Amino acid sequence: MIAVFFGVASLLGFTELRQDAPALSALICSVILAGAMTGWMRFRRMEWRPTLEMAGSSVAAGVLLIVGYWTGIVSQEALVPSVCGLACVAMIAVMLFRLPLYSTGHAGHHGGAT
């Protein structure tokens, strides 16, 4: 989905979006990851609290990297590619706090999507 976004942006004339607006690009990547995770978890009938925790970890990873970019810790070239990696680590950390929830089958989830 991220590749599709940058492809569409390129077709619309924003061919160098990652270089022209790296912080915005990283934020958009984080939001796309969070949206995809939210959609998948709600499809799997997960409750809202763990869904928002998981999606929030992606956004938090993006914000952390953007702050690192603004302070000079993260380079412009590494900013966007690092979003997915750090978001994955953050989601694993969230899963570890709710290991029983994430280690059960689909049938173990709440019956209704609330």
Domain spans of the chain?
A: 21-102
Q: What is the pLDDT of residue 14?
A: 73
pLDDT recorded at residue 110: 57
In the predicted model, residues of the chain with pLDDT beneath 70 are 106-114
Per-residue model confidence (pLDDT) at position 114: 45
pLDDT at 69: 96
pLDDT of residue 108: 52
Count Cβ atoms within 10 A of the Cβ of residue 90 and give its class: 0-12 exposed, 13-18 middle, 19 or more buried. buried
- The type of residue at 5 is F
Q: What is the pTM of this model?
A: 0.79
